[in-house]
Amino acid sequence: MPERRIDPDDGSAYTFEELSAYYQGKFKKKAIEAYWENECKPTKKGKADAKPKAKVKAKVKAKAPKKNPFGDLKMNRDQIKQAKERVYNFSAGPSTLPLEVLLEAQNDMLSYQGTGMGVMEMSHRGKTFVAIATQAEKDLRDLLNVPATHKVFFMQGGATLMFAGVPMNMIGDSSSTADYLITGQWGEKAHKECKKYGKANEACNTKPTKFTTIPPKSEWKLTSGAKYVHYCYNETVNGVEWSAIPDVEAPLVADMSSNFMSRNIHADKHAFIYAGIQKNLGPAGMAIGIADEKVLGKSIPMCPSYMDWKGCVDAESMLNTPACYTWYMMGVYLKYTKEKGGLSYWDELADKKSRLLYDAIDNSNGFYTAPVAKDCRSRMTVPFQILGGNEELEKKFLKEAEKVKLFTLAGHRSVGGCRAAIYNGMPVKGVETLTSFMKSFAEENPQ
Ligand SMILES: Cc1ncc(COP(=O)(O)O)c(C=O)c1O
């Protein structure tokens, strides 16, 4: 009699042929074989399940092969149902994550790789979590090509804690100056923080243009002997992204929160890089620091132990309990990035998605407008207006967009209008759905 095994999907026993018939068309033959080998436990002899039941045959027949709309992904029925419910979420952070990453986390939720506990429940000092943490750091370094001269560390408190920590670790004393290239609201906030500890110079400030431009270097007012120059690679609220790394003499510091993992970070050109991970690399709760070793060990005396980067590096980012689950999720995201071919995968997608969206804006005969100058338009966060800021129409747009699963498209509360965050987790299909909706909305609301 052919062997029967329990399908964990419904707890019933099937022969391999029965299972193959059911899953055929949903999964590839190899995946079914692996499922049979790895997931389906043999029945115990003598158990009622071991015998073929008439019911089983009927069930197999009833379960005519259905195609998984999510392709080759291994998903049970509940997961397929939930995945179908998912909307295109254009939130600027926390933001949408790749389905593959979420599925892996879901599958690990109750018991991580046979340990009998979920990652959320594990000691951060235990071997299993330490292995997760080490692998994630290694993958991050590999993917971003971080040179051996630079240390990588992780902190809770987000990018806000990081930009508070920049002057504390790098200004030295209150008579020293740091230069800030202010091209949006986050740069403005970081600059304000520096004023508490030293002289914070506005090397440029594009507020008069409503943060829609990046001036040429000839217009920057850099300080000779500045302790560092700070810039924000992508201003999330205003949608302004540097197309090249600023070329300066002083040690360079970058806030890369909203374009991290979407392009080369050129770590070797920076003294310090920081990024919250909740846009392009995981859930909220953790920020990454990448510091040239030369920067470490120079914090001001009043700097809290937690915020002294050297202390954090020396303790391997476990000076206190880290954001374990967020760290693990980042690791899953990094592993997925590797599987997809590395950073260039996200880079190319960012090009494709942003081009689609800006083309839709630029080809709308002025119905939609993007306020940011073309040479510094963001590939990650795209603000746009309808008829130059017609609030009534924008409200209607946001409401109707939800009917086609397009969510969280409102601009930041300080700016208004609309904004689409098209981070790594946003599929091309999401942007295509948005651009086709934009086209039909413009046609249905002629002015
Ligand atoms: C560019 C940038 N910097 C800093 C922050 C602050 O990050 P957090 O909320 O993690 O402190 C954000 C948040 O959206 C951001 O987009």
DSSP string for residues in 337-382: HHHTTSHHHHHHHHHHHHHHHHHHHHTSTTSEE--S-GGGB-SSEE
Rounded Cα–Cα distance for residues 209 and 206 (Å) = 6
> How many angstroms does the Cα of residue 186 sit away from the middle of ligand 1?
7
CATH of domain 343-444: 3.90.1150.10
> How many angstroms does the Cα of residue 362 sit away from the middle of ligand 1?
28
Please give the helix or strand (H or E) that residue 334 lies within, else none. Answer: helix 324-339
Q: How far is CA 7 from CA 76, 160, 429, 432, in A?
A: 11, 48, 33, 38
Rounded Cα–Cα distance for residues 58 and 61 (Å) = 5
Cβ(133) – ligand 1 distance below 6 Å: no
Contact 237, 382 (CB under 8 A): no
pLDDT at 50: 46
List of residues 6+ apart from 114 with CB closer than 8 A: none
Cβ(236) – ligand 1 distance below 6 Å: yes
CA neighbours closer than 13 Å in the CB half-sphere of residue 346:
29
> How many angstroms does the Cα of residue 237 sit away from the middle of ligand 1?
10
How many residues would you count in the chain?
447
Cβ(159) – ligand 1 distance below 6 Å: yes
CA 3 to chain centre: 45
CA angle 379, 436, 410 (to 5 degrees): 55
Of the residues 7, 26, 36, 186, only one is catalytic, namely 186
Cβ(232) – ligand 1 distance below 6 Å: yes
Of the residues 179, 255, 292, 308, only one is catalytic, namely 255
Atom of ligand 1 nearest to the CA of 184: 1
Four-residue CA torsion sign, 293, 282, 168, 268: positive
Cβ(255) – ligand 1 distance below 6 Å: yes
List of residues 6+ apart from 193 with CB closer than 8 A: 163, 164, 166, 167
Helix, strand or coil, per DSSP, at residue 143: helix
Which residue's alpha carbon is nearest to atom 1 within ligand 1?
A: 257
Closest C-alpha among 197, 193, 134 to residue 328: 134
Rounded Cα–Cα distance for residues 380 and 240 (Å) = 9
Cβ(312) – ligand 1 distance below 6 Å: no
> How many angstroms does the Cα of residue 158 sit away from the middle of ligand 1?
7
Same fold, 112-339 and 343-444: no
Q: How far is CA 104 from CA 5, 68, 112, 117, in A?
A: 24, 17, 10, 15
**Beta pairing class for 234-235 and 240-241:** antiparallel
Which residue's alpha carbon is nearest to atom 10 within ligand 1?
A: 158
Which residue's alpha carbon is nearest to atom 16 within ligand 1?
A: 236
Rounded Cα–Cα distance for residues 200 and 194 (Å) = 6
In this structure, whether the domain defined by 112-339 belongs to CATH 2.160.10.10 is answered with no
Spans of all domains in the chain: 4-85, 112-339, 343-444
Cβ(93) – ligand 1 distance below 6 Å: yes
- Respond yes or no: is residue 186 known to be catalytic: yes
CB atoms under 10 Å from CB of 189, counted, come to: 16
pLDDT at 28: 76
Cβ(156) – ligand 1 distance below 6 Å: no
Closest C-alpha among 373, 69, 6, 440 to residue 206: 373
> How many angstroms does the Cα of residue 294 sit away from the middle of ligand 1?
26
Indicate the residue type of 367.
F
> How many angstroms does the Cα of residue 2 sit away from the middle of ligand 1?
59
pLDDT at 46: 46
Q: Per DSSP, what are the bridge partners of residue 5?
A: 14, 42
In tens, the pLDDT along 19-71 reads 887 777 777 787 788 888 888 888 876 444 544 444 554 555 445 456 788 98
pTM of the shown model: 0.86
Pocket probe for ligand 1: among 186, 242, 380, the residue whose CB has the most ligand atoms within 8 Å is: 186
- Respond yes or no: is residue 310 known to be catalytic: no
Q: How far is CA 296 from CA 73, 128, 271, 330, 344, in A?
A: 44, 29, 10, 25, 30
- Respond yes or no: is residue 279 known to be catalytic: yes
Cβ(158) – ligand 1 distance below 6 Å: yes
> How many angstroms does the Cα of residue 211 sit away from the middle of ligand 1?
16
List of residues 6+ apart from 306 with CB closer than 8 A: 155, 312, 319, 320
Atom of ligand 1 nearest to the CA of 235: 1
Rounded Cα–Cα distance for residues 256 and 63 (Å) = 49
Please give the helix or strand (H or E) that residue 425 lies within, else none. Answer: none
List of residues 6+ apart from 323 with CB closer than 8 A: 154, 156, 285, 286
- Regions of the chain where pLDDT drops below 70: 45-66
pLDDT at 64: 47
Helices 343-362, 428-444: axis angle to 10 degrees equals 0
pLDDT at 66: 67
Rounded Cα–Cα distance for residues 72 and 205 (Å) = 49
